[in-house]
Structure 1
Amino acid sequence: MRTNTTSPFSFLQSLATRFQPPAWVVDEGQQKIVLFLNHVLMQEKEAQNRLLRKKGSVVHVRWGVFALDLVITPAGLLDRAAPGVKPDLLLAVTAESPAVVMQSVMAGKAPPVKIEGDVQLAAELGWLADNLRWDLEEDLSRIIGDVPAHTLAGFARQALAGLRQFLAQALVPAASPAGAVAVPPVPEPPKATS
């Protein structure tokens, strides 16, 4: 008996390799990513101070066909680097499958990354990855108030927990070795009471 070991999200990988967005979409998307990253960085002064130590450094981030070159500004924030600038650090996500990346992120871990270049810069970015978090609830409270923001954030946390559980169950067969069959655990029979 053969088992299906393909991920339920494998269509995303095939779509990403075939679909080449127009240049203006890539440009706008990269600009939005930089704005979001700076928004999160501005919420944590220590993050800006750490980046300030490496101002002018260029980081090349790559995942499959998607790439982004970032330069650290004198304010301890990020901007897109000029085209053709040699990066000081290369961060390449080695997992091609969106499902593997999503599973890592949902588990609260960084996806597998190949790192080349400036070790000190890599350490600073590692600190940011471990310690910097976006406070969505705080941002929502500025728009809709504290109570609705808290309620929506609670719903989001529950949905995220459900998605994590679903992904853990859906992706386990995809992560198992070829030919292996996932066998559900057998429930214990109820104990007799005297």
Structure 2
Amino acid sequence: MLKPLLPRLLNHLLAQNSWAAPLLQPFGGKHARLILPPFSATITVLEDGGLALAGETASADATITVPPSVALRLLAGDEAAGAAASVTGDTEFASALAKVLQGISWEYEEDLSRMVGDAPAHEIARFGRAAVNEARRKTLSVAGMFAEYWQEEQPLIAKKRHVEQFVRDVDTLREDAERLQKRIEKLKTRLQADH
């Protein structure tokens, strides 16, 4: 049910974000597989920079996989979360598509005003923004709670300071090993010179 709506939704958003289609035009005819478990779809970039659902047999030039946890971070407004998405295939194409998908915004108030009028649309949008901000705040709070639990109570995630200390220890060990190797070489050279 979601697949047939995806191209219409994306093209509607592209129309509202006029900067996006020119970024995709150079990739006309290419296919991208978007995977957000449990959903996935293959889309085609049209010559005008629009998007269409690709056929079942279309081979993807690029694949973008967004784990559910990353999707939640993106919805919460964490712009750095996009780097956690997995990209394979034509990285230039995937980067352009990801930039467009991350940067497009929905002018929902404009869409609502066509259905219910300007004043009700404004009030609904204001309520929606407040609800989204509260949901984002709670999501970040819950994510922080889980991170703290997994760091303190059930250590599954390393603390930043522990990772930094580990990296420093590894660097020190590597430097010590290099110094030891040089000493061994000097000793070998002395022993060979004495014989």
TM-score scaled by structure 2?
0.69
Q: In the alignment, residue 157 of structure 1 is paired with which amino acid?
A: R
CA distance in 2, matches of 1:55, 1:149: 36
The question of 1:174 aligning with 2:114 is answered no
1:31 paired residue number: 4
Identity among equivalent positions (%) equals 26
Q: Deviations over 1:99-120 (max 9, x none)?
A: 5532332124345210112232
Task: Work out which of the residue numbers 106, 124, 138 in structure 1 matches 2:76.
Answer: 106
1:191 paired residue number: none
The question of 1:70 aligning with 2:40 is answered no
Structure with larger Rg? 2
2:90 paired residue number: 118
Q: Deviations over 1:72-114 (max 9, x none)?
A: 1123211111112221111011x3xx45532332124345210
Q: Deviations over 1:47-80 (max 9, x none)?
A: 1222221110000111234211001112321111
Task: Work out which of the residue numbers 146, 151, 158 in structure 1 matches 2:118.
Answer: 146
2:64 paired residue number: 91
CA distance in 2, matches of 1:104, 1:76: 24
**Cα 1:104–1:52, aligned 2, differ >3 Å: closer, same or farther?**
closer
Q: Deviations over 1:158-181 (max 9, x none)?
A: 111111121122222222363615
Aligned length: 152
SS at match of 1:178: helix
TM-score scaled by structure 1?
0.69
Q: In the alignment, residue 74 of structure 2 is paired with which amino acid?
A: S
CA distance in 1, matches of 2:117, 2:17: 22
Task: Work out which of the residue numbers 6, 25, 30 in structure 2 matches 1:57.
Answer: 30
**Cα 1:171–1:123, aligned 2, differ >3 Å: closer, same or farther?**
closer
1:164 paired residue number: 136
CA distance in 1, matches of 2:151, 2:29: 50
2:166 paired residue number: none
5+ residue gaps, structure 2, are 154-195
Q: In the alignment, residue 136 of structure 1 is paired with which amino acid?
A: Y
SS at match of 2:42: strand
1:47 paired residue number: 20
CA distance in 2, matches of 1:133, 1:179: 35
SS at match of 2:152: coil
5+ residue gaps, structure 1, are 1-27, 182-194
Please identify which structure carries the higher helix content: 2
**Cα 1:169–1:108, aligned 2, differ >3 Å: closer, same or farther?**
closer
TM superposition shift of 1:41: 0.8
TM superposition shift of 1:130: 4.3
The question of 1:82 aligning with 2:52 is answered no
**Cα 1:165–1:65, aligned 2, differ >3 Å: closer, same or farther?**
closer
